[in-house]
């Protein structure tokens, strides 16, 4: 295996990206993202990303994803078993917008590194890059895989809506930390056994619940005063609103829509 010399800014499940490394954009009176989406394309093969498997010194395999496109890579899907193309469980979704496995988009020329999930004592799988989405709306991969990313984003946005309404109610009624925690546990939608549920959508739906519960349980355990509980609730409300709005914005003009021009 060739020597690995790329700049690595993330190890395992985390990522650290320097804002100064983001590609510069020309001055314009229009939103650069809107202009970029006008020229977004679908890469039928050979996407502008390098995917490779490297071994650490302790012989643990790592996936290395290097973005070669001029716009940041915001999400991608890895198939851990290429022979089981139609399986839901053999794919791993990484999405910076839902903070699922990827904490920030990957700028051009930088790499993201993460482990290859496998059962201890058994050979590691041979994963492949199956789909990808960039900030400008460009895509790679089949439609059925690409659809999993906006579906998870939509599930998280809806979950944020419910959490935002609950937090506002708590602020209006001066809830205690225990009351916030109890209300958060009621936010998750019931699972319909008759409908298939994608793993990433389940995780996305539970993200606000987990965040509120962890913070408010700590407030209750430490017996923090009401003003501190109020501040935490307001901070969560602001954060959820910002993240929800970013998710909703990603739907507008998304290249994952059916009318997106594709180079097939």
Token pair 């977004």 in the structure block, residue? 40
pLDDT at 120: 61
Q: Given pLDDT bands bounded at 50, 70 and 90, which one contains residue 13?
A: very low
In sign, the C-alpha dihedral spanning 61, 62, 66, 71 is positive
- In percent, how much of the chain has pLDDT > 70? 69
The gap from C-alpha 16 to its chain's centroid, in whole angstroms, comes to 14
More confident residue, 244 or 2: 244
Average pLDDT over residues 109-131: 79
Which residues is 50 bridged to in the sheet? 66
- In percent, how much of the chain has pLDDT > 90? 42
- The answer to whether the beta carbons of residues 207 and 98 sit under 8 Å apart is yes
DSSP 23: P
Highest mean pLDDT among 65-69, 84-88, 98-102: 65-69
Tell me: the pLDDT tens digits for 200-223? 777 777 889 999 999 999 999 999
pLDDT at 188: 80
Q: Given pLDDT bands bounded at 50, 70 and 90, which one contains residue 182?
A: very high
Average pLDDT over residues 147-174: 92
Distance CA 40, CA 8 (A): 27
Helix, strand and coil percent figures for the chain, each rounded to 5 = 35, 15, 45
| In the predicted structure, residue 166 carries a pLDDT above the cut 90 | yes
pLDDT at 22: 35
pLDDT at 238: 97
Count of CB atoms situated within 10 Å of the CB of 22: 15
pLDDT at 56: 75
* Window from 29-43, 115-129, 179-193, 203-217 with minimum mean pLDDT: 29-43
Domains defined along the chain, listed by start: 19-141 (2.60.40), 151-250 (no CATH)
Highest mean pLDDT among 1-5, 47-51, 115-119, 200-204: 47-51
Average pLDDT over residues 141-170: 91
- Please tell me the total number of residues recorded for the chain in this structure: 264
Average pLDDT, the chain: 78
Distance CA 52, CA 4 (A): 10
User: Within 13 A of 75's CA, how many CA atoms are on the CB side?
Assistant: 28
| In the predicted structure, residue 176 carries a pLDDT above the cut 60 | yes
Tell me: the pLDDT tens digits for 22-61? 333 334 344 555 554 557 888 988 999 999 988 877 777 8
Backbone dihedral region for residue 185 (phi beyond 0: left; psi -120 to 50: alpha; all else: beta):
alpha
* Window from 25-39, 79-93, 136-150 with minimum mean pLDDT: 25-39
pLDDT at 33: 52
Measured between its terminal Cα atoms, the distance across the chain in Å is 33
Residue 250: which H helix or E strand, with range? helix 226-251
């Amino acid at each position: 295996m060739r020597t690995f010399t790329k700049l690595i800014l993330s190890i395992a499940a985390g990522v650290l990206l320097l804002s100064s490394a983001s590609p510069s954009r020309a001055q314009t009176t229009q939103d650069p993202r809107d202009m970029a989406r006008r020229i977004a394309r679908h890469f039928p093969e050979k996407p502008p990303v390098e995917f490779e498997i490297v071994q650490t010194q302790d012989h643990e395999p790592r996936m290395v994803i290097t973005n070669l496109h001029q716009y940041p890579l915001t999400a991608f899907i890895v198939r851990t078993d290429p022979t089981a193309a139609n399986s839901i469980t053999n794919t791993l979704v990484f999405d910076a917008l839902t903070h699922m496995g990827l904490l920030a988009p990957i700028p051009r020329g930088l790499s993201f590194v993460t482990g290859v999930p496998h059962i201890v004592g058994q050979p590691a799988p041979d994963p492949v890059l199956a789909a990808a989405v960039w900030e400008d709306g460009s895509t790679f991969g089949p439609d059925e895989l690409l659809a999993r990313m906006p579906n998870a984003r939509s599930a998280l946005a809806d979950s944020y809506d419910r959490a935002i309404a609950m937090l506002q109610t708590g602020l209006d009624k001066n809830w205690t930390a225990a009351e916030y925690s109890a209300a958060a546990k009621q936010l998750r939608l019931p699972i319909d056994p008759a409908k298939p549920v994608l793993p990433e959508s389940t995780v996305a739906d539970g993200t606000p619940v987990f965040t509120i519960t962890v913070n408010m349980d700590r407030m209750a355990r430490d017996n923090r005063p009401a003003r501190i509980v109020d501040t935490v609730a307001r901070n969560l409300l602001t954060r959820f609103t910002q993240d929800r709005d970013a998710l909703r914005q990603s739907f507008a003009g998304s290249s994952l829509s059916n009318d997106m021009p594709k180079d097939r």
